[in-house]
Amino acid sequence: MKKIGILGGTFNPPHMGHLMMANEALHSLALDEVRFMPNAIPPHKKALGATDEQRAKMVELAIEGIPYFKLEPFELERGGVSYTFDTIYTLTKREKDATFYFIIGGDSIDSLHTWYHIDDLVELVTFVGIRRPGTKASTDYPVMMVDAPQIDLSSSLLRARFAQNKTVQYLIPETVERYIRKEGIYGATAATGDY
């Protein structure tokens, strides 16, 4: 059986915290690969600033050259509200030779009881939790915790930094930063001398 990790989110933009979570889960659980799956319309938050195509492109740039990281475009291609249960149900039917591990941060662990069809979902997938600063990372549902360095980094912080023309160095892959500045996403301007 192939062991596949899924890291879902808006990836608006993807950042080093996402890459670190995926990498820690991959190595801790000996996964074959981790797929980064951007939501179409997330049920718990509003997507701001970047189009679906731009978010997919940023994920591709963030994971470029890392053979065990892949873009999973399933939810973007399906469109509509992205419920994890619907997605995992379809993926398990489509890929019968795979076991899926859904990687979530502490904030998602805390709100797991609010997820759509959560009682059915835990029968289909193994949740893998990674603590985040400022969260309890506590739930009555089964979550396999991975011990990983905690980083207090969010996409909203990065969007604000781009809008204010502040540094994002070491917080986001350089390829993603260059793309954001070139496209003017989040109100970003081209860095001096870059273009």
Domains of the chain (ranges, CATH numbers): 2-150 (3.40.50.620)
Q: Which residues does 184 contact at the CB level (< 8 Å), separation at least 6?
A: none
Place of tokens 């009555």: 140
> What pLDDT score does 195 carry?
36
Closest by CA to 155, choosing from 138, 132, 174, 171, is 171
Alpha-carbon dihedral of residues 38, 177, 106, 125, nearest 10 degrees?
30
Closest by CA to 62, choosing from 41, 83, 26, 34, is 34
DSSP bridge pairs for 3: 99
Q: Are 56 and 92 in contact (CB under 8 A)?
A: no
> What pLDDT score does 150 carry?
86
Report how many helices (DSSP H) and strands (DSSP E) the chain contains, helices first: 8, 6
How far CA 56 is from CA of 8, 12, 41, 115, 137, in Å, comes to 12, 9, 14, 24, 28
| Distance, first Cα to last Cα, the chain | 47
pLDDT, tens digit only, all 195 positions of the chain: 999 999 999 999 999 999 999 999 999 999 999 999 999 887 666 656 899 999 999 999 999 999 999 999 999 999 998 899 999 999 999 999 999 999 999 889 999 999 999 999 999 999 999 998 888 888 999 999 999 998 889 999 999 999 999 999 999 999 999 999 999 999 998 764 443
